[in-house]
Chains A and B, each alone.
Chain A
Amino acid sequence: MAEKKTVKVSRQAVELARLHVEAARRAGRKPEPGVARIATARPENGNGAAAPA
Chain B
Amino acid sequence: MDTDWSLIPGWLAMVGAITTLASPFLALGGVLIGARLTRKADEELDVWRHREETMRMVRWAVEQITTGEESQTDAGVVTLRSLMRSELLQAEDYDLVAALTAAVTIDRIGQAKYADLADLETEVVEQAGEGVSADG
A interface, CB within 8 angstroms of B: 3-17, 19-20, 22-24, 26-29, 31-35, 37-38, 40-45, 51
Contacts and interface: CB of A to CB of B under 8 A. Distances in A.
B125 A16 contact: no
A19 B124 contact: no
A8 to B, nearest CB: 4
Contact of A11 (B65, B124, B126, B134): B126
A41 B98 contact: no
B94 interface: yes
Tell me the interface secondary structure of chain B in the complex: helix
9 contacts: A3-B136, A5-B119, A8-B134, A10-B132, A16-B65, A19-B81, A20-B98, A23-B84, A24-B102
Contacts of B33: none
Contacts, number: 151
Nearest to B124: A41
Interface of B: 65, 70, 73-74, 77, 80-81, 84, 89, 91-92, 94-95, 97-98, 101-102, 104-106, 108-109, 113-114, 116-119, 121-128, 130-136
A33 B118 CA distance: 8
B108 A37 contact: no
A5 B121 contact: yes
Nearest to A22: B84
A29 B119 CA distance: 22
Contacts of A15: 73-74, 77
